[in-house]
């Protein structure tokens, strides 16, 4: 006898569940416990990885909309950021406890990864408790970091390490030297020899014993996209021979005890842990030698590079990493300890500059889909026939395509494919030579897409996809037009083909029936996403839901056609916290999106901590030196003239001017 639950299971079988969606989009793989899906089919954020504490993203977007904050919007989760920092702290604490390492660990946050004040302030405040620090790579960053570290923890109590990388001028170094006198734990890291001379000069001038770091060019190469950050050809650091000269130079000035830190940086997003192990090995050997030569070294700075598993595959390729935070920590501690123990050198304070790994998880962009364009499976036959009748002579490729379309069977799929591609190519050359009408060209397109759809469907039914058909699914996938700028919000997707996980944030209890690529609202054909994360394959289209017609609004009295004929459909782009905000640009004058900080209150309701409004049109125009008052004046004069000459009524003129003024104050993205 069937029990109720088995009946229910049978009923549920074959039905799409949120778990299916989670699997499809790989949410558990790349979300690493921070991202989930709830029973309502909405994406959730688990800021502390605790399943009892979840934020429903769709609810947040609805709530923001009620408050007049529209997509695209960047959501930042301070609690995720805090959780990540604690996770890194704990991974190193555990590794050091396990291996009896006594030197300690500190992570300094390189603010170049995300300099937004709200992000940096939170890190600076946590840094006091976690014994972390900050890193600056340029003059403006140094000034920001000096200010940030002054407020964190209260004035005068703050010894957090401040590491200064990058090229420095005399003023930069003078600032570092004076900050030492102020009581800061600041370490300028020598990238080229002349910087050392400046440090010594200013130290003498102000009678300060500065703490000095040296970046060394290792012979170990990095790996992947940023491999040139290390190696002897790298832009930064001293050759080993120069390191020795630096030792002599400091000794001659009686400052060898000031040489406190040795640094290297082997590149970002190190996907293979072996690369790191080799570099640490070499770096620690140099450290031990410096110790032996009498330098006052106490800190070993292994740079950044701890990666993020963007695609969830845990593998050694550029969108992923083949290690966990725990493994990273254990390997670093092990290498440093074994080399130092062998050389009988005291364990140094290990410093890492892990930027990406700290902040990537904490930001999510939510954007709305404006509409779609698709390559239809069903040609409009009556229209095609009517168009053919209007021709004096129907071009041969059209007849061929029609024939192919009608005569396709399971057995001649490959033949049909070849015939249709050939007919399409012939048609296109006829058209460009002026021998084909526009209606006939339209018929060709429709028939070709229809044949391709049929081919794909039949091949899938047979369970085999001939090699030649492999590009078909992507060339037939829909285009989803999305309200965002790739260049502003995910520039690395364009610049270096970085993959970011993308998924709808709702409707996950419905099976997605379409496949599509995403296109942004810039006029740039590069403004599209056509590669998606997947654990196994190079995925060139994303499973998406059909846009649903919006229910007619009973309150809308107007009989004018509506612009947005569909229910809102929202997509989330995840792991955007590192590098994207600051690398984003103003292509097409699309500015910063709104950014909203979200957290959970003690009763598990989401709340808004902070709203940072996106750029207005006025702001982006002023970046490119427009004077908004001038623009308004010019428009007003032109409208005034048009009204006087009767081309516009005064009411129309007034409306146009109002749109212009409102537009200048408004968001740079499309608004409902």
Return residues touching ligand PLP (CB under 6 A).
Answer: 110, 112-113, 137, 165, 265, 268-269, 303-306, 353-356
> DSSP states of 619-636 as a string?
HHHHHTT--HHHHHHHHH
Q: Go through the chain and tell me how many residues it has.
A: 672
Is the distance from CB of 648 to CB of 656 less than 8 angstroms? yes
Q: Closer CB to ligand PLP, residue 303 or residue 312?
A: 303
367: number of Cβ within 10 Å: 26
CA nearest 281: which of 268, 306, 304, 300?
300
Please state the closest distance from residue 353 (CB atom) to ligand PLP, in A.
4
Please state the closest distance from residue 404 (CB atom) to ligand PLP, in A.
53
Strand pairing report for 528-529 and 514-519 = antiparallel
Please state the closest distance from residue 583 (CB atom) to ligand PLP, in A.
12
Is the distance from CB of 221 to CB of 175 less than 8 angstroms? no
**Phi, psi (deg, nearest 5) at residue 78:** -60, -35
Please state the closest distance from residue 355 (CB atom) to ligand PLP, in A.
3
What is the token pair recorded at 161? 């390490």
Instruction: Give whole-number Cα distances, 87 to 82, 83, 422, in Å.
Output: 9, 6, 58
Question: DSSP letter at 39?
Answer: T
Q: Closer CB to ligand PLP, residue 335 or residue 539?
A: 335
Cα–Cα dist 57/43, whole Å: 6
What is the token pair recorded at 33? 């416990």
Cα–Cα dist 590/667, whole Å: 9
Cα–Cα dist 595/76, whole Å: 7
Q: Where are the alpha helices (DSSP H) in 537-627?
A: 580-583, 617-623
Please state the closest distance from residue 177 (CB atom) to ligand PLP, in A.
21
Please state the closest distance from residue 236 (CB atom) to ligand PLP, in A.
7
Q: Closer CB to ligand PLP, residue 264 or residue 295?
A: 264
Q: Closer CB to ligand PLP, residue 36 or residue 303?
A: 303
Please state the closest distance from residue 225 (CB atom) to ligand PLP, in A.
11
Q: Closer CB to ligand PLP, residue 137 or residue 584?
A: 137
Please state the closest distance from residue 418 (CB atom) to ligand PLP, in A.
48
Q: Closer CB to ligand PLP, residue 110 or residue 397?
A: 110
> DSSP states of 227-275 as a string?
GGGSSTT-SSSB-HHHHHHHHHHHHHTT-GGGEEEEE----SSB--HHH
Indicate if the alpha-carbon torsion angle 534, 537, 541, 544 is positive or negative. negative
Q: Closer CB to ligand PLP, residue 242 or residue 353?
A: 353
Please state the closest distance from residue 264 (CB atom) to ligand PLP, in A.
9
Q: Closer CB to ligand PLP, residue 357 or residue 401?
A: 357
Cα–Cα dist 186/165, whole Å: 11
Please state the closest distance from residue 568 (CB atom) to ligand PLP, in A.
34
Helices (H) and strands (E) in the chain, counts: 24, 21
What is the token pair recorded at 581? 């905000």
Please state the closest distance from residue 420 (CB atom) to ligand PLP, in A.
48
User: By Cβ distance, which residue is nearest to ligand PLP?
Assistant: 304
Cα–Cα dist 631/399, whole Å: 56
Q: Closer CB to ligand PLP, residue 43 or residue 88?
A: 88
Q: Closer CB to ligand PLP, residue 305 or residue 516?
A: 305
Q: Closer CB to ligand PLP, residue 81 or residue 113?
A: 113
Cα first-last separation, the chain: 55
Degrees to nearest 5, angle at CA 470 with 466 and 473: 120
How would you class 650 by CB atoms within 10 Å of its CB: exposed for 0-12, middle for 13-18, buried for 19 or more? Answer: exposed
């Amino acid at each position: 006898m069937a029990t109720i639950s088995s009946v229910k299971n049978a009923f549920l079988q074959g039905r799409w569940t949120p778990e299916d969606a989670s699997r499809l989009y790989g949410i558990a793989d790349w979300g690493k416990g921070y991202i989930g899906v709830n029973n309502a089919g909405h994406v959730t954020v688990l800021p502390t990885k605790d399943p009892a504490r979840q934020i429903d993203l769709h609810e947040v977007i609805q709530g923001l909309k009620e408050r007049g904050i529209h997509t695209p919007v960047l959501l930042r989760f301070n609690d995720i950021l805090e959780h990540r920092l604690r996770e890194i702290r704990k991974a190193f604490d555990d590794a050091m406890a396990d291996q009896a390492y006594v030197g300690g660990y500190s992570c300094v946050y390189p603010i170049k990864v995300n300099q937004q004040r709200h992000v940096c302030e939170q890190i600076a405040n946590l840094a006091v408790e976690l014994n972390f620090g900050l890193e600056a790579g340029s003059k403006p960053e140094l000034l920001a970091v000096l200010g940030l570290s002054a407020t964190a923890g209260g004035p005068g109590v703050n010894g957090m390490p401040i590491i200064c990388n990058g090229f420095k001028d005399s003023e930069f170094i003078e600032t570092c030297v004076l900050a030492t006198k102020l009581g800061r734990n600041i370490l300028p890291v020598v990238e080229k020899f002349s910087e050392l001379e400046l440090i010594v000069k200013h130290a003498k001038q102000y009678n300060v014993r500065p703490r000095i770091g040296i970046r060394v060019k290792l012979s170990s190469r990095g790996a992947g996209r940023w491999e040139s950050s290390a190696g002897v050809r790298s832009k930064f650091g001293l050759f080993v021979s120069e390191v020795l000269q630096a030792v002599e130079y400091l000794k001659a000035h009686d400052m060898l005890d000031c040489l406190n830190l040795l640094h290297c940086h082997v590149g970002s997003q190190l996907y293979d842990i072996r690369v790191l192990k080799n570099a640490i090995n070499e770096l620690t050997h140099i450290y031990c030698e410096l110790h032996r030569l009498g330098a006052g070294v106490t800190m070993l700075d292994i740079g950044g590079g701890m990666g993020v598993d963007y695609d969830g595959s845990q593998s050694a390729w550029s969108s992923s990493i083949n290690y966990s935070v725990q493994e990273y920590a254990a390997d670093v501690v092990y290498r440093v300890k074994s080399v130092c123990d062998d050389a009988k050198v005291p364990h140094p304070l290990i410093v890492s500059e892990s930027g990406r790994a700290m902040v990537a998880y904490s930001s999510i962009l939510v954007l709305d889909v404006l509409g779609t364009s698709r390559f239809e499976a069903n040609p409009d036959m009556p229209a095609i026939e009517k168009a053919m009748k209007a021709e004096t002579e129907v071009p041969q490729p059209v007849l061929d395509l029609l024939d192919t379309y009608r005569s396709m069977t399971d057995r001649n799929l490959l033949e049909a494919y070849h015939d249709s591609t050939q007919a399409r190519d012939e048609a296109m050359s006829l058209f460009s030579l002026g021998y084909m009408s526009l209606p006939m060209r339209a018929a060709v397109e429709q028939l070709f897409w229809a044949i391709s759809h049929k081919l794909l469907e039949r091949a899938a039914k047979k369970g085999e996809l001939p090699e030649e058909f492999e590009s078909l699914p992507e060339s037939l996938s829909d285009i989803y037009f999305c309200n965002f700028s790739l260049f502003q919000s995910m520039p690395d997707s364009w610049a270096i083909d970085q993959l970011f996980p993308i998924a709808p944030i709702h409707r996950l209890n419905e099976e997605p029936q379409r496949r599509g690529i995403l296109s942004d609202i810039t006029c740039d054909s590069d403004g599209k996403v056509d590669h998606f994360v997947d654990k196994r394959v190079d995925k060139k289209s994303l499973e998406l839901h059909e846009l649903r017609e919006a229910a007619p609004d009973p309150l809308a009295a107007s009989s004018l056609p509506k612009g947005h004929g569909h229910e809102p459909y929202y997509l989330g782009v995840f792991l955007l916290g590192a590098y994207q905000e600051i690398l984003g640009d103003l292509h097409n004058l699309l500015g910063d999106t709104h950014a909203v900080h979200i957290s959970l209150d003690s009763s598990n309701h989401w709340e808004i901590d902070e709203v940072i409004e996106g750029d207005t049109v006025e702001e982006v125009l002023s970046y490119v030196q427009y004077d908004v008052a001038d623009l308004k004046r010019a428009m007003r004069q032109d409208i005034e003239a048009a009204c006087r000459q009767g081309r516009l009524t005064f009411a129309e003129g007034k409306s146009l001017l109002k749109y212009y003024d409102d537009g200048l104050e408004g968001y740079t993205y499309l608004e409902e």
